[in-house]
Amino acid sequence: MQTGRRVALDVGKARIGFAISDPHSILASPQEAEPRNDTSAATIVARIKQHSDVVAIYVGLPVNLKSLSTESTKDCVLFARELQQLLDIEVRLVDERFSTKIASQKLSTAGKNTKQQRQIIDSEAASVILESAIEFEKRTGQLPGSSVSGYRFED
C-alpha cells in the first residue's frame, strides 16, 4: 500500500462530508464539512492541496439498493468529475450504501442525539467511507471502487 494520506468525501445536497487519513492510513479522521454551493469543488481542492502527500481521493457513490443510479448518483459523479479536472490525483467512486446509517450508529453510541449529529454526520459518513476504502486496499492491494473518468450511469 502506497504511503500517503487518503481523503474521502460524502457529497450531499446541503453539505460535503470530509475525512482524511494519516500518512500511513491507520486512522481516518472526520473533518469539518463544507457547505454545498457553486464553489464547493474549488474549496475542497484547496483543502486537499493543504496536504502535499494525498495519494487517493474516494468519493462516496450513492446508488440505490439495486445498485441503480439516482439523481443523487448523477449529482455526485458530476461533482467528482469536476474535482478530477482540478486535481492531479485520481478520484475514485466507492459504494457508500449504509455509510450514513453506520455513522449515525457510531455517533449515537458516542452519546450524540439526532440534533447534535446533524452538523457532523456527513463527515462521519466520509470517515466510514474512508475506513472501508483503506481496509479494502490493505486487504486486496487494489484501489477500491472505480475511476470517475470511466463511470457510466446505469438506470
pTM of the model: 0.86
The 10 Å CB-count burial string (b at 16+, else e) for 99-126 is bbebbbebbeeeebeeeebeebbbbbbb
Query: Where residue 65 falls among pLDDT bands split at 50, 70, 90?
Result: confident
Rounded CA gap, 54 and 48, in Å? 7
Residue 155 reports pLDDT greater than 60: no
Q: In Å, how far from its chain's centre is CA 90?
A: 13
* Cell digits of residue 92: 475514485
What class has domain 5-146?
Answer: alpha beta
